Chains A and B, each alone.
Chain A
């Protein structure tokens, strides 16, 4: 995504004979328009537009419409984007081609959509395409023609798509700084619209908990659950201004550096203050968020725990484990067996007494899965672990082990976590337990990353046999990755069991493994902040917007494809991953730099290049 600027020295070496800039390729714009049309037709035909039309997010614009608008704007933006600067070419100047590219893409997309509308208005296709309902075009509210009859509706759609595409294309006429500000404003308006319920709840929660006068802000920003005109203006202005401020030429010193320069006593004071505010905020967070949002956060938190664990196995050690859910199940069942008075053991322990056994059981499970696959790599490992995951589920479900695990009836009446006399009942209280474990997992992850074993994992991930020749004990490295990963998943399972209060084998299917894997891939492999964001967005968001539920995996799939093509290193990549995936670009850069240096060296008249650190 990042357009890498060619180093000045390379341009210099290439000489003054720069070829003229390549403008926007209009054929490409038309192709993008076709894709945009396809996407718009697809989301209309599979029922998404209709399903999402119940939630207004910005004024009268529903989420369904916002999606169509987003398609037109997004593809228009891409279509109007000038091509990357190639070596030997001048940088393109913004001009009418940017606008035309956007217009063209919009028009093509609009035309595709219009054909689709005519088709579904003329033919009865509902028998094949169940989700193409009559309310799309034929009957009120005629969603896709915006309430108009077919004729004017077509004109409207076509015109709108073209205009939006062109509008998005013209963004490229702006200078980078302003364009970014506009994009930021659009992004934040959409976010605020989408997350209306969260923002409103938080503003209200702050008022009741902290006695700050924040609830009226919600009344200004939102009307009837959607952003009001004033809300759009405020959010857009704030985002726009913040973006401009951030990119303003003055480079401020990083906060950390400024902090370091303070005298010791005040530095300590600042640290204590920051910590206190953080703790206070976290302590009040469940109260501010309320019951529902806390529950959403808890679900995301359990997946985050698992994702942190899988991140160690896949991200650090490079062992693709598709049966990760097995460890989650082991943690959950161990907990349930020990703390439910109605389990086959009937012990009814307190949660904390069960924790050591959860650790033990998941570690053993990690060894059991890890040992037979020691000699396997890559695809084979993935397939075998996939099998292990299913075996675990089937064992818990089996009649054979029914006396222990309860078969399909599972284990019920799992007691809540208690801290002394306090029971963590309800999502708001439960949040603290989850938070504690997530904190622990984060600490473990960071500690391991910088440890000897962390280095061994990294070496093993890159080249197993060479790592071995360096003295890395591959058996220990692999098994320890499996064991640590299994333990974190085990914690997740333990929390899951106590949160739900009863567990059944069907909760532990392959979908859980896949979801966790998607979280770390999209979030950013081997990057803790990435995994956190991934869990919040991919697990939390669908809980928040229940309409998404039906399309959850479709969206995961689309997101995965988008990410793999455009940003394979994830939302928030770890430094190393990002480099790996752009290795070729970088290798090319390095080669260019080297060549430029060589050429300068060869040029006798030029002063000899100074090499740092030599001699």
Chain B
């Protein structure tokens, strides 16, 4: 399905190969194939009930595909326990951030590294998060719930990064944020990506997501209907009409 095929020098780090999933008798995903290569930002676009969240759930092992494979670093990980997947290098920034609001920023970040036992490396990653988000350092002892929306987004990203992920999944990062913050947020995503983290963004806000992504996929009723480079998608007439609100 993907036109890029074997163009990239490295193989995909995360790949969905013809994945179909069902909730009981209802088929949600229909042979979805997605490739995410190291260092890329890939976005998955689509309206409500198009199967975006189910795609994420499938990657995270909450839902087991009925057909097709989820490949992480060349290994088949269908139905692997979430805990193991986090260990293998997938972490997520959930929709609406979902911080542990009653815990301090430090505790949130520590929980991001919950499965890691290498204290020295964790300390290093704390520093890494502080260089990305200098403001976090002053807020360490503050409870996450009292932070502003933008700061909460930083903590959510920081928390996910503390797991040292190979791929960072982001569920609707623009959800529930003021327009100014949405822009700021996508700048953050770009910044994190520049530091070397591969990112897979699921988003409704197509123009915003495509503006930072390398590749994009468009999902419609559980099927990938468009897959191309972000630039091509931005220029695609069908896209402009359906998702970018232009005529």
Contact = CB atoms under 8 A, between A and B. Distances in A.
29 contacts: A455-B110, A458-B107, A462-B100, A466-B100, A467-B111, A468-B82, A469-B91, A469-B92, A469-B94, A470-B91, A470-B111, A470-B114, A471-B82, A471-B86, A471-B87, A471-B114, A471-B115, A579-B102, A583-B101, A583-B102, A586-B146, A587-B146, A589-B146, A590-B146, A594-B148, A613-B137, A613-B138, A614-B135, A614-B138
B148 A614 contact: no
A462 B138 CA distance: 24
Interface in A460-513: 462-463, 465-473
Contacts of B147: 590
B163 interface: yes
A456 interface: yes
Contacts of A614: 134-135, 138
Contact of B60 (A459, A469, A590): A469
Interface string B137-158: 1100011011110000000000
B223 to A, nearest CB: 26
Nearest to A594: B148
A459 B111 contact: yes
Contacts of B163: 470-471
Interface string B81-96: 1110011000110100
5 residue pairs, one from A and one from B, having the closest CB atoms = A471-B86, A471-B115, A590-B146, A580-B102, A462-B100
Given A469-B92, A470-B86, A470-B112, A462 B102 contact: yes
Given A459-B103, A463-B100, 9 more contacts: A458-B100, A459-B111, A462-B102, A462-B103, A463-B98, A469-B86, A473-B83, A583-B102, A613-B138
Q: Which of B60, B115, B146 has the most CB of A within 10 A?
A: B146
A280 interface: no
B245 to A, nearest CB: 32
B82 A469 contact: yes
Interface in A414-460: 452, 455-456, 458-459
Main secondary structure of the interface of A (DSSP, over half): helix
Contacts of B114: 452, 455-456, 459, 470-472
B108 to A, nearest CB: 9
Given A466-B98, A472-B114, A583 B83 contact: no
Q: Which of B100, B107, B137 has the most CB of A within 10 A?
A: B100
Contacts of A54: none
Interface in A143-179: none
Interface in A525-579: 576, 579
Nearest to A476: B83
Nearest to A590: B146
Contacts of B101: 462, 583
Contacts of B148: 594
B85 to A, nearest CB: 8
Given A468-B82, A470-B112, A614-B134, A583 B145 contact: yes
B106 to A, nearest CB: 12
A211 interface: no
Nearest to B140: A613
A612 interface: yes
A587 B82 contact: no
Contacts of B145: 583, 587
B58 to A, nearest CB: 14
A611 B138 CA distance: 9
Contacts of A465: 94, 98
A601 to B, nearest CB: 14
Q: Which of B60, B102, B143, B147 has the most CB of A within 10 A?
A: B102
A590 to B, nearest CB: 4
Nearest to B169: A469
A580 B87 CA distance: 31
Q: Which of B87, B137, B143, B159 has the most CB of A within 10 A?
A: B143
A452 B111 CA distance: 10
Contacts of A589: 146
A2 B80 CA distance: 49
A576 B102 contact: yes
Interface string A582-615: 0100110110001000000000000000011111
A300 B196 CA distance: 59
Nearest to B98: A466
B221 to A, nearest CB: 25
A467 B115 CA distance: 11
B16 to A, nearest CB: 19
Interface in B56-105: 60, 81-83, 86-87, 91-92, 94, 98, 100-103
B138 A612 contact: yes
B103 to A, nearest CB: 7
Contacts of A469: 60, 82, 86, 91-92, 94
Q: Which of B110, B145, B163 has the most CB of A within 10 A?
A: B145
A613 B130 CA distance: 10
Interface string B156-190: 00010001000000000000000000000000000
A615 B131 CA distance: 9
A68 B147 CA distance: 47
A486 B92 CA distance: 34
B83 A471 contact: yes
A613 B111 CA distance: 23
Contact of B83 (A472, A576, A586): A472
Nearest to A455: B111
Contacts of A471: 82-83, 86-87, 114-115, 163
A580 B60 CA distance: 30
Contacts of A455: 107, 110-111, 114
A150 B114 CA distance: 72
A576 B143 CA distance: 10
Contacts of A579: 102, 143
A586 B114 CA distance: 28
A304 to B, nearest CB: 26
A213 to B, nearest CB: 51
Nearest to B134: A614
